[in-house]
């Protein structure tokens, strides 16, 4: 715990960003700060509806969950990565859950992705249950197409997205982890093939692509080991299609079950940051400029629906 707080306080400045509920000119509400009780914990989240949400009562919208990294928050994810801007322009519902806060002086929020991170892992918080119930609640209360639910995440949030793919593949159509890796401790037992888009920088030293000790002194397995596991789960062809244009390398796994595809964008610039965003803090890594994560993620998600 002390190791995590000491290292993360240097690497991350927790962003506090206050949002008010946003109403349209006709009084309809588009933004919600919500709470729900799960396992005697009050869990929080932020929900944003796109501008045309109320135009057609029979319409149903894709739902994309954005999971913050260790020390971040729902509001921080939205603000730093401009994800609601993309959601509003593309017309999907954006849902930002919060991880639990530690009892330490910084109150850092984390997810229990397996072997990481901090209080959520140490207390064995059932974040899978929280996300499952949050998805079900959102589908039942908003115009969500239940076949178009997707998850992306940064760092610890990316790790959590991998765990969700293992345990909630019946609810999630595709995932897009950014700057994270697979750290699950339970057997990965998806009930269906899961499309995966992974984005990472070869220069990332906080969650090293090749694996090793990184952020907060944790050991992170190589990204390739997680992708290889998933290629097996998805019964993909052992022959990969690789494109290298000197700015990034794109690896694609094809001929997977049910026409699922897996993609890896490995950038040669940037670091432990959200590609296409801005550098958010003085000590933060510079984001890659050769790809835009928001565009890649939404383009990838649009290809897939649950069977």
Q: What is the pLDDT of residues 43-77, one digit of tens each?
A: 999 999 999 999 988 889 999 999 999 999 999 99
Q: What is the pLDDT of residues 98-109, one digit of tens each?
A: 999 999 888 999
Q: Residue 280's pLDDT is what?
A: 85
Whether residue 270 lies inside any domain: the answer is: yes
Q: What is the pLDDT of residues 216-226, one digit of tens each?
A: 999 999 999 99
Whether residue 306 lies inside any domain: the answer is: no
Cis peptide before 298 (omega within 30 of 0): no
Taking 60 as the threshold, does the pLDDT of residue 7 lie above it? no
Number of helices and strands in the chain (H, E): 8, 14
- Report the distance separating Cα 109 and Cα 118, nearest Å: 9
Spatial CA neighbour of 150 closest among 84, 73, 93, 81:
93
Q: Report how many domains make up the chain.
A: 1
Cβ–Cβ < 8 Å for 134, 95: yes
Whether residue 15 lies inside any domain: the answer is: yes
Whether residue 233 lies inside any domain: the answer is: yes
Residue 179: C-alpha distances to residues 27, 182, 204, 284 (Å)? 39, 11, 8, 13
Model pTM score? 0.92
Whether residue 34 lies inside any domain: the answer is: yes
Write out the DSSP string of 125-188: --HHHHHHHHHHHHHHHTTEEEEEEEEEEETHHHHHHHHHHHH-TTT-SEEEEES------S--
Whether residue 29 lies inside any domain: the answer is: yes
Cβ–Cβ < 8 Å for 156, 117: yes
Whether residue 252 lies inside any domain: the answer is: yes
Residue-range definition of the domain harbouring residue 225? 2-301
What whole-number percentage of the chain has pLDDT above 90? 86
Cβ–Cβ < 8 Å for 245, 268: no
Tell me the CATH number at 223.
3.40.50.1820
Q: Tell me the pLDDT band of 250, cut-offs 50, 70 and 90.
A: very high
């Amino acid at each position: 715990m002390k190791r995590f707080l000491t290292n993360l306080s240097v690497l991350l400045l927790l962003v506090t960003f206050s949002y008010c509920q946003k109403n349209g000119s006709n009084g309809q509400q588009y933004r919600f700060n919500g709470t729900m009780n799960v396992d005697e914990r009050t869990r929080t989240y932020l929900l944003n509806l796109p501008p045309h949400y109320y135009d057609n009562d029979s319409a149903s919208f894709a739902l994309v969950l954005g999971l913050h990294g260790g020390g971040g928050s729902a509001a921080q994810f939205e603000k730093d990565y401009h994800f609601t801007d993309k959601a509003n322009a593309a017309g999907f519902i954006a849902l930002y859950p919060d991880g639990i806060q530690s009892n330490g002086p910084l109150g850092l929020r984390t997810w229990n992705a397996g072997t990481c991170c901090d209080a959520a892992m140490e207390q064995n918080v059932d974040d899978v249950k929280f996300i499952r119930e949050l998805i079900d609640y959102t589908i039942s209360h908003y115009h969500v197409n239940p076949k178009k639910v997707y998850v992306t995440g940064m760092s610890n949030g990316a790790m959590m997205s991998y765990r969700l793919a293992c345990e909630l593949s019946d609810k999630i159509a595709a995932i897009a982890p950014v700057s994270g890796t697979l750290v699950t401790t339970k057997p990965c037992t998806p009930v269906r093939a899961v499309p995966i888009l992974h984005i990472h920088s070869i220069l990332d030293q906080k969650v090293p692509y090749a694996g090793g000790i990184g952020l907060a002194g944790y050991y992170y397995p190589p990204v390739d080991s997680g992708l290889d596991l998933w290629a097996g789960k998805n019964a993909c062809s052992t022959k990969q299609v690789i494109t290298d244009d000197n700015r990034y390398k794109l690896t694609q796994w094809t001929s997977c079950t049910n026409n699922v595809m897996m993609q890896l964008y490995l950038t040669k610039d940037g670091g432990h940051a959200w590609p296409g965003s801005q550098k958010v803090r003085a000590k933060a890594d510079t984001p890659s400029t050769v790809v835009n994560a928001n565009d890649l993620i939404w383009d990838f998600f649009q290809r897939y629906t649950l069977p």
